[in-house]
Structure 1
Amino acid sequence: MADSEEWLEEWLTVGKIVGVQGLQGELRVNPASDFPERFTVPGPRWVRSKGSPPREMQLKTGRQLPGKSLFVVRLDSVDNRDAAEALVGSDWMVPADDRPQLGEGEFHLLDLVGLEARLSPDSDPIGTVTDLISGGNDLLEIKRTDGSKLLIPFVEAIVPEVHLKDGWLLLTPPPGLMDL
């Protein structure tokens, strides 16, 4: 790994700045985290534009938009629409060691990346989880062994088992989903 990329291992992307809100510099953030306090509790946050290391910024306020998964945040030094627009497309990050403690059987969604996807516990993998796409329902992007990509809704009915320690998850897709 190149020295310029080593810092990536020290950070987790927990959201993406997807737009601006109004004229006063507020930003819309699409979360990739189940911990809303990362977007609502004031304090230091880190924003990374493509190709550069994260830079610290102070979160002043944050709120979730009613009925949506998006958060609207206000950062120090971002006080107008132009300054906000310059941050659209940036990643919202936290230090890798800033992971909330989880209970038994819980896991961080980002830990799914790299797991093998199987159709039965004893079968060969059909592919590997390469990304997590947040939306109404989270989607797992799976790169199949033939190189094609597959999007699988991350819901218990389709992904009933996750075996982090063993490096795989079980898929029970409905008929036709694997053909899309």
Structure 2
Amino acid sequence: MEQLLVVGKIVAPHGVRGEVRVIPLTDFPERFSKLKSVFLDDGSTLDIEYAKTHNQGITIKFSGLNDRNDIEHLRGKLLKIAKKDAVKLPKGEYYTFEIIGLKVYDDAGQYIGKITEVLKTGSNDVYVAEQEDKRQVLIPALKKVVTNIDIEGGQMTVKLQEEWE
């Protein structure tokens, strides 16, 4: 099965005509107005009749679900899209899901570890690489530190702190 990305969470029914309130869990909430369908955790698909911005969230009407009783069971469900439908990022920018799992090497080719987490610090992200002995190496996501990211090849090259100038 293809990889799915979470883009929102249904928080509650909205009104009595089958609409739901959704909290966007994406940097691109405008995507909802263009979506034709979404996946749920169980793999089922819901077709979207319309979606509109409402306060800090999104209101969605799913096709065939026309009253509050039809949608009550959807409360708390995550909405997902296929990875292939993700918004294309500019060159040199990556989604967190693309970074996690990359093998990290220093610029001499020495294996450092595997990215297990991306910390959002505000100023810049920090990649957490876990070494074979389970120790963690923190790598700031800065151009002077991360010299190459090869998503297809599954690896990242970094310049270690001792080498920074």
If the TM-score is normalised by the length of the shorter chain, which range does it land in? 0.5 to 0.7
Give the 3-state SS of the residue equivalent to 1:126 in structure 2.
strand
Q: Does 1:83 align with 2:71?
A: yes
CA RMSD of superposed structures (Å) = 4.3
Distance 2:112 2:25 in 1: 29
Distance 2:97 2:149 in 1: 14
- Within a 5 Å distance, the mapping from 1:1-180 to structure 2 comes to 7=1, 10-17=2-9, 20=11, 23-24=14-15, 25-31=20-26, 34-39=27-32, 41-49=33-41, 52-58=42-48, 60-63=50-53, 71-76=57-62, 77=65, 80=68, 83=71, 86-90=74-78, 92-118=79-105, 120-122=106-108, 124-130=110-116, 140=127, 142-147=129-134, 155-156=141-142, 160-164=146-150, 165-170=152-157
Q: Which letter does structure 2 place at the counterpart of 1:97? A: K
Give the 3-state SS of the residue equivalent to 2:107 in structure 1.
coil
Distance 1:30 1:134 in 2: 15
Percent of pairs identical after alignment? 20
Q: TM-score, normalised by structure 2?
A: 0.60
Question: Which consecutive unaligned segments of at least 5 residues does structure 1 have?
Answer: 1-6, 175-180
Q: Rg larger in 1 or in 2?
A: 2
Quick check: which one's strand share is greater?
2
Report the CA distance between 1:63 and its aligned residue.
Answer: 3.2
Q: Which letter does structure 2 place at the counterpart of 1:113? A: I
